[in-house]
Amino acid sequence: VPLYYARLNLREPLKASIAAILLNIALNALFMHTPLRQGGLALATSLSVLANLLLLLLWLEGGFGELRKWRLGATAIRCLAASAVMGLVIFCLRLAVESLGGSLQERLWQAAFITLAVPLGAGTYFGAAMLLKTPDLWEAMKIAGRKWK
């Protein structure tokens, strides 16, 4: 969006945002009536944000060519792989909890699962991203490090 604003182009970001909002509403309605239920809301939001990004990239003057310099593709593929590893680890955690006789329908087991899943998932994601040498992760860590100082 800042690239568009720098070029004094306000229409494309507005059109992309409206399209993303409409897509989000449609996907929310669709996913709420599936086994995903409230998890579908997060998926719908993620897909809508992705659609917004893709529209803005598609409409960007010069197309995707100049964005290759930004290592966008390499970062996206590595982030997707790190997310898949994280998802597998959390799935295995769920199987482990259920094998101990825990039911994720009960509040106590839900609390235990979430207490373990959040730090384990975050650690797994960032560990996998570091092992995959995700280019923009190192830049983000440098920025975050400067903010904490």
Q: What is the pLDDT of residues 90-103, one digit of tens each?
A: 999 988 888 887 77
Q: Which residue has better confidence, 149 or 76?
A: 76
Give the percent of the chain with pLDDT over 70.
Answer: 90
What is the full DSSP assignment across 24-76? HHHHHHHHTTSTTTHHHHHHHHHHHHHHHHHHHHHHSTTTTGGGGGGTHHHHH
Mean pLDDT of 103-123: 86
Give the percent of the chain with pLDDT over 90.
Answer: 38
**Residue ranges of E strands in 64-138:** none
Q: CA 16 → CA 9, 35, 56, 136, distances in Å?
A: 12, 29, 7, 24
Q: Which residue has better confidence, 88 or 71?
A: 88
From CA 83, how far away is CA 87, in angstroms rounded? 6
Q: What is the pLDDT of residue 24?
A: 96
Q: What pTM was computed for the model?
A: 0.62
Q: What is the pLDDT of residue 141?
A: 78
Confidence of residue 34 (pLDDT cuts 50, 70, 90): confident
| Other residues' Cβ atoms within 10 Å of the Cβ of residue 36 | 14
pLDDT at 54 over 80: yes
Q: What is the pLDDT of residues 65-80, one digit of tens each?
A: 555 556 677 788 888 9
Amino acid at 81: A
DSSP code at position 36: T
